[in-house]
Structure 1
Amino acid sequence: MDRKFKIDVEGTEEEKELIRTLTTLFSTRAGSQPADREFGIDWSCMDELPEVAESLFALEAYRKVERYEPRVEIKDIKFENTQGVLLPCIYFVRKENV
């Protein structure tokens, strides 16, 4: 599978499960799940200029992670820009008391 993103989860015993659920969230196109049209990520922002795309993607990522995977929070999002292709690298940490 050619991924459009990288995921890293720090400091958790549930790392494999969290990576699986986060990968599912970020691999699913928003609007494609009949039972929950909000589930997934709207990747259309990545067609914008890099600075705009980074901001829009970060907003989308923070909102969706808070809603669909409350056990973690985004620690950082870094973007690799290789030959005009923007690759988000998303770093998560486990939330306390969840």
Structure 2
Amino acid sequence: MAYVVKAFSLKKINLAPESTVEEVLQNVAMIISTPKFSVPLDRGFGLAQRFIDKPIQSAQPILISEVLDAIEEYEPRAEVENVDFMLGDRPGALIPIVEVNIIDG
């Protein structure tokens, strides 16, 4: 079953998720919402910001690559099926929307 996760959709962190699905989806939301180098004890966590100040057509493939790499590294229980985007409130702002499957194991 595929689940859709949107960046910046997480309003509060649940420290005791009731299911593996909830935990994985929360983790994916945190990964795609966090800029790399912004977490003090894990500077590699999140997305590198190489796509900033690029035209949208150039930024999208860079951001897709960063999303795939970050999720593969930090949440191996999630398998990315699709990465899409919506435009943010500010001109040129891309918000990633990721479709994932949960890997049982």
Q: Which runs of no fewer than 5 residues in structure 1 stay unpaired?
A: 8-12
TM-score by length of 1: 0.73
- Determine the C-alpha separation between the residues in 2 that align with 1:87 and 1:27: 9
Which of 96, 99, 102 aligns to 1:88? It is: 96
Q: How many residues align?
A: 88
- Please, which of 37, 44, 59 is the counterpart of residue 31 of structure 1? 37
The runs of at least 4 consecutive aligned structure 1 residues that moved more than 3 Å come to 81-85
Mapped partners of 1:81, 1:90: distance in 2: 14
For 2:47, the equivalent position in structure 1 comes to 41
* Greater fraction helix: 1
- CA contact 1:6–1:88 (8 Å) conserved in 2: yes
The change in CA–CA distance for 1:55 and 1:94 in structure 2 (over 3 A counts) is same
Cα root mean square deviation, aligned: 2.2
Measured in 1, the distance between the counterparts of 2:52 and 2:98 equals 15
Amino acid at match of 2:37: G
Structure 2: gaps of 5 or more residues: 8-18
TM-score, scaled relative to structure 2 = 0.69
**What secondary structure does 1:79 align onto?**
strand
User: 1:44: how far off?
Assistant: 4.4
